[in-house]
Structure 1
């Protein structure tokens, strides 16, 4: 036994060798991210550099209906269920690759009946009958086990496990990215719905005011105190306002259906719940944005791209291992004979162990081509990672710029609405005092409705920009449930 010990230890020693490059982490795709951009120029009155919470950012809007819809979407959205299924597939693949590193054993049971023409066999012990024409028959019974093991000499299987683990982690990041996109898309659809509902209501008020103005102008035209031009101008304005209502109604219905499908419901199921008009939710006074380094570590799409890069790097070593010799060991042990009683003779068994060394040294460059392909795939993954990082920074900076500009717009329109409110109030006082006409009052009220509509639109857009910031920062995801986190170790 001592004489064969070095031979037994040789596979163990060789298996310590692992070919291919070791993954050293992602490249620094944005070395100057913390020194420039909207992160570094955050206005303290608009944003704060405090680190944001990862999940449930929509609760900052203070809208219970939106909170309920987000919970329904995270529980029943089909796209999210598909991402979870892909994660389970990736983790099952990891368990399979880990199992491939271990020996494989099979149990076999065999019964065979053979008839040999032209042979004279002594069948006295076999229980077989000789047939006519000089033929003989033979029965064979066997129970046994066979095992095989391919020694991972150069680490190809270990690289496969490394790639499968990184792929599973990429699938988990893709699941989080799906959650980010889903929560942001649902919030945006909800804001668009509330905006269209308010615009329809304001349009209805504007139509009522314009109809009164047109009726009074026609009366004045009949009495000779107004021109035909005044009538046509107001009539054209009324038709234009009425025309605006039709596309707004179609958009409102489309957003109702979009919300239903995002929450996993059929179109129309939520119409009763969402038809009553509610205020458009507004963002908080301060928005936590953190810093670029934290964002790059938090965004799921960046983490997914980085894990894909790690998996493709490991696959280079997996391809490299194919260029070297392969050692496999097969073993067989079994009992049996020509009668069922032979299966009980446990001291009379057959055993075989057969090491086999194979090497495709003359493959005319096939394995080398596979290595070059793996290297190309890895380089493509690195380029995609760099692109993802730069796109994330641009997305975050653009979202912050739009949010700041929209805050200024909302403030300006708020002042305009306050002025329109004051004008309408003064016009009403003058009308009651008899110093102005009803048509002047109706015109002031129409301008007040227009100012209210402009402000409402801007507020909805501001909250939409807030949603875009949350998506750009990679917020709105949470770790899978404990059952989903179960994986082979």
Structure 2
């Protein structure tokens, strides 16, 4: 027959292995085998892909590296990792033994003629050590630690999300700044052409070959061009100021580096988008959603564990030493024993807590699915755009060339008196509109290329990892079931 001394520890070991609530399993969902305009070859790890270098712009490359180390939003996300690490410690602390030690010393005495022994002093020294240990029989604190660790993983992935957000914001602002610089250059070039036309019209007015109406029309076109330039300059400055904010430096520094203009960033080539299942591994926002789901699943166990009885082992020892002129001695008191807490009537609050945790977990699963679906949609959209942007740019380039030739022909014809000034002015307007459309097409092509790379989850790992927090090695890759596209 098994003795109580043998059975009791064994029972405690069995209970210690009990963990309430469901275990988290990597979520799955059906995904197509390929993007509608993509290939079937899977991507590897694209986190370290420095896609912005494809523009061949040294300034953009330098800005990207600088901001990864200095951007304030990224630094805030890094601080949240420290907070999440502290939360892991806090979550598991309740299931560990606690020990509190205190001590005090008191000196007392009496004075006065009515006292039997005047001037007697007594020193009393007392110390107390109290220990307690709540036995985590149902895994409440183990589940809480599991949830906190999942939240820590999410904090690491959130840093990666912020890095991607920064890279997209920076690259977009740089592309937009160069776009407005291009518009300023186009306006200034056209301003020179229109002033030449105005001078020619005034000359012909003096020669009797033009009317005052022609001169006024030419002046109007010059003034309309002059009116455009300040607006372009304002927009350019706003983009430069935003770049300075992203890099956490003064605006004057970036203005000095951007002076002199520069060509619009142009991407030539293709992007390997992989397959939809790659997004589960490469997109940090998907990982954040999965880790949030894992954290909420563990919280179900925390809530369920509160439904069961809890046992706390506690004890205390308190030695006391008294010394006086008449007597001295010591006394030690101690206590030890378990206490049982059994929830019976709570108005349904504990069971409501379980239902709430279960609902939160289901909600986070749906949020994970939504994040994956949105990621696939975004890649599909920008893949379609990138594959067609080059056609738009080529057509706009041809249009500019045609209108420039038309302007040359109409100007020569006007000088010979074979056509009217209106033909020249119309040709100038067409050239300006075509040049602006070309600049906008180049801008949109670059923005689509940036968005496609960001949406496949590329480029958030900085070249130098020494100063930045690293994702934990234990972070899991979530697998999904893929189905072949029809």
Matching residue of 2:37: 41
Matching residue of 1:243: 227
Matching residue of 1:123: none
Inter-partner Cα distance in structure 2 for 1:23 and 1:326: 24
Q: What is the CA deviation profile of residues 142-184 of structure 1, one whole-angstrom value per residue up to 9, with x for unaligned ones?
A: 3343221111011111110111001111111111100000011
Contact 1:34–1:40, Cα closer than 8 Å, also in 2:
no
Inter-partner Cα distance in structure 1 for 2:17 and 2:467: 34
Cα distance, 1:483 vs structure 2: 7.2
Contact 1:20–1:316, Cα closer than 8 Å, also in 2:
yes
Correspondence for 2:443 among 430, 453, 460: 460
Inter-partner Cα distance in structure 2 for 1:203 and 1:222: 28
Aligned to 2:33, what secondary structure does the other structure show? Answer: helix
Contact 1:209–1:446, Cα closer than 8 Å, also in 2:
no
Matching residue of 1:14: 15
Correspondence for 2:186 among 198, 202, 206: 202
Relative distance call for 1:208 and 1:482 in structure 2 (3 A) is: closer
Matching residue of 2:469: 484
Say yes or no: does 1:148 pair with 2:129.
Answer: no
Relative distance call for 1:164 and 1:482 in structure 2 (3 A) is: farther
> Superposition pairs for residues 219-368 of structure 1, below 5 Å?
219-339=203-323, 350-368=333-351
Matching residue of 2:46: 53
Q: What is the CA deviation profile of residues 272-319 of structure 1, one whole-angstrom value per residue up to 9, with x for unaligned ones?
A: 111221111211311121111102321111111111111111111101
Inter-partner Cα distance in structure 1 for 2:169 and 2:235: 16
Correspondence for 2:61 among 45, 62, 67: 67
Correspondence for 1:392 among 360, 364, 375: 375
Matching residue of 1:120: none
> Superposition pairs for residues 89-238 of structure 1, below 5 Å?
89-112=83-106, 139-238=123-222
Relative distance call for 1:251 and 1:90 in structure 2 (3 A) is: same
Q: What is the CA deviation profile of residues 10-68 of structure 1, one whole-angstrom value per residue up to 9, with x for unaligned ones?
A: 3322121111122122241xx24335xxx232389xxx975573232212221110111
Contact 2:20–2:301, Cα closer than 8 Å, also in 1:
yes
The TM-score with structure 1 as length reference comes to 0.84
Question: Between Structure 1 and Structure 2, how many residues are aligned?
Answer: 464
Q: Once superposed, what is the RMSD of the aligned Cα atoms?
A: 3.6
Q: What is the CA deviation profile of residues 218-266 of structure 1, one whole-angstrom value per residue up to 9, with x for unaligned ones?
A: 3334443234554444333333222221211110111111000000113
Inter-partner Cα distance in structure 2 for 1:435 and 1:147: 107
Inter-partner Cα distance in structure 1 for 2:316 and 2:105: 17
Say yes or no: does 1:377 pair with 2:360.
Answer: yes
Inter-partner Cα distance in structure 1 for 2:329 and 2:9: 32
Contact 2:96–2:133, Cα closer than 8 Å, also in 1:
yes
Matching residue of 1:125: none
Inter-partner Cα distance in structure 1 for 2:33 and 2:471: 37
Contact 2:37–2:384, Cα closer than 8 Å, also in 1:
no
Cα distance, 1:8 vs structure 2: 3.3
Inter-partner Cα distance in structure 1 for 2:18 and 2:111: 59
Inter-partner Cα distance in structure 1 for 2:6 and 2:318: 26
Cα distance, 1:334 vs structure 2: 4.5
Cα distance, 1:465 vs structure 2: 1.0
Instruction: Give the unaligned 5+ runs of structure 1.
Output: 115-127
Cα distance, 1:74 vs structure 2: 0.9
Inter-partner Cα distance in structure 1 for 2:43 and 2:13: 52
